[in-house]
Copies of this chain bind each other. A is one copy, B any other.
Amino acid sequence: MNLQGLNFIGNELSGIGDETFFAFDPLRNKQLAPAFFEAELSEVDWALDKAEEAFLETRAISVAKRAAFLREIARRLIDLGDELINRAMYETGLPEARLVGERTRAVNQILLFADLVGEGSWVEARIDTADPERVPMPKPDVRRMLRSLGPVAVFGAGNFPLAFSVAGGDTASALAAGNPVVITAHPAHPGTSELVAGAIVEAALETSMPEGVFSMLHGARHGIGFHLVCHPAVKAVGFTGSLAGGRALFDAAASRDTPIPVYAEMGSINPVFLLPGALRNRAAEIAKGFHQSVTLGVGQFCTKPGLVIAVEGEGLQRFIDEVVKLTDDYSPGTMLHSGIREAYESAVAGVEAKPGVDVLARSKTPPEESRTEAAGVFFGTKAAEFLADSDLSAEVFGPSTLLVTCRSREEVFWLAKTLEGHLTSTLHATEEDLRQFGDLVPILEEKVGRLVLNGFPTGVEVCHAMHHGGPYPATTDVRETSVGSAAIRRFARPVCYQDFPDTVLPVELRNSNSRGIWRLINGEFTRDDVGG
């Protein structure tokens, strides 16, 4: 491995600052070479100057070329092979199989956007043709489509070093929409980030994209991030991380002279409801899936179910017994870094200290600090206690979860109504449960972005219909998704052309539908030509 520890300013490498930092192997408790150069503010400006300059050219590039750029990124990510997976394993403590799977996910995500851009209908072309004879006023010819928004600042997540990081969904969707991207690499996996950034820069060179279409900065300090978000050249921000971090960037962006959208996906506790019939029929099976979902990736998923709500009754004790057994037997897992482990330990201690909260189970094997390990914890409380203390609704990032037992259907509804915004909510229910608790669905629709039935929230499918978002504090923009093809819309804006001749219009809006895309012509969806 030949890492250089430098920032990528377009195609140039740079490390002019005095400060450096190191990656850390959480499993082996040791620092990893090389030193990485923190970006200086002048390097942030440099990257954004390049991005701004590249923008007019980038947005004008043919969709075929843009798709080719994305495909070349995907190809080069695969080509990085074991080198990438090994470095990511060292930097995150995540196992090989998980990282190989995550790379596949990242690659497929990029290819999805390449296909989307190649197909072209995502631009939402709309055409209303003229009527010069209309009285009292002639009707103009009006056409609109989504166009690139401008340079996008991306902040990668620590928990998905491939699929939500340098070449993750935010970067892929922003590039697909025709925007330059400046990403701040997550300081917990700077080497993985360097490898991926190198692949993107090489793909840009290979496909003759304008220099500045992609830059990557190392920034363990918060100052870099704020400087980036407040820079006038930046037109939107993608962020995956903590509530505190996302809200701080949102506030900074809203206070700019020219405010910009911030798409911050900040996680949630993803309440799971276990309804009586489902518990009666499938308590042990649900317990297994639930425990697996809680502990997947050592609980470091934004969709981890951190809250499970059940009505007292037949089957609940079997569910509890099974989760207790699985938690007892759960071998502590290595967390991404010591900071996350400490936050987890502290949050778990906080929950444990709450009156009315019991530790129903905890991994029998004690976690080893030298391996940055965390134990599984299964908490239990009653609805009244839960409702009385909003601290119990806070996300605990790691392999713990809280069971809230309700004495009645009414308590379940009351609890549902008081929920904050979450990415997901899950129901385990029979058909009979759905009849009896059907009113729960409209309540939960108001609280979350995705409702899951008889499944588990972890494992966010990358597809057209996915919505990975939700009401605040799950995200800062309830209208948008960070996963799936609809994520591209975040980085585009409509532009409207009135009475433009065919030759001056973007190809997507011309009379002849040479791209064969779906368009709304005079209110009708069609792939026909105008007048055709």
Contacts and interface: CB of A to CB of B under 8 A. Distances in A.
A499 interface: yes
Contacts of A493: 478-479
Given A449-B496, A479-B492, 18 more contacts: A126-B465, A128-B463, A128-B464, A128-B466, A139-B461, A142-B465, A142-B466, A143-B465, A149-B478, A258-B471, A450-B498, A453-B498, A453-B499, A465-B520, A466-B496, A479-B489, A486-B494, A525-B525
A374 B464 CA distance: 54
A441 B504 CA distance: 9
A212 interface: no
Contact of A258 (B431, B445, B473): B473
Contacts of A518: 525
Contacts of A455: 140, 498-499
A469 interface: yes
A137 interface: yes
Interface string A468-484: 01011100111101000
Complex copy number for this chain: 2
A59 B481 CA distance: 22
Contacts of A476: 259
Contacts of A261: 477, 479
Nearest to A247: B259
20 contacts: A56-B442, A101-B136, A126-B464, A139-B461, A142-B465, A142-B466, A144-B450, A250-B254, A258-B421, A261-B479, A445-B495, A450-B495, A451-B498, A465-B520, A467-B495, A467-B496, A478-B493, A479-B493, A479-B494, A518-B525
B259 A451 contact: no
A140 B460 CA distance: 10
A355 interface: no
Contacts of A478: 149, 493
A117 to B, nearest CB: 13
Contact of A461 (B142, B445, B459, B473): B142
B451 A496 contact: yes
Contacts of A121: 525
Contacts of A479: 261, 489, 492-494
Given A121-B525, A126-B486, A461 B140 contact: yes
Contact of A464 (B469, B472, B489, B523): B523
A258 B247 CA distance: 10
Contacts of A492: 479
B496 A450 contact: yes
B259 A449 contact: no
B520 A464 contact: yes
A150 interface: yes
**Which 8 pairs from chain A and chain B are nearest by CB?**
A467-B496, A254-B254, A126-B465, A450-B496, A128-B463, A142-B465, A467-B494, A452-B498
A478 to B, nearest CB: 5
A9 to B, nearest CB: 23
B144 A466 contact: yes
Contacts of A477: 261
Contacts of A50: none
A504 B434 contact: yes
Given A250-B254, A494-B479, A497-B451, A461 B144 contact: no
Interface in A96-152: 101, 121, 126-128, 136-137, 139-140, 142-144, 147, 149-150
A60 interface: yes
A434 B501 CA distance: 10
A368 interface: no
Contact of A449 (B60, B136, B466, B494): B494
A21 interface: no
Contacts of A472: 258-259
Contacts of A445: 147, 495
Contacts of A464: 126, 128, 520, 522-523
Given A140-B461, A504-B453, A494 B469 contact: yes
A285 interface: no
A82 interface: no
Contacts of A421: 258
Nearest to A466: B142
A454 interface: yes
Interface string A428-460: 000100100010011101101111111100010
A453 B501 contact: yes
Contacts of A60: 442
A500 interface: yes
A251 interface: yes
A65 to B, nearest CB: 17
Contacts of A258: 421, 471-473
Contacts of A140: 455, 459, 461
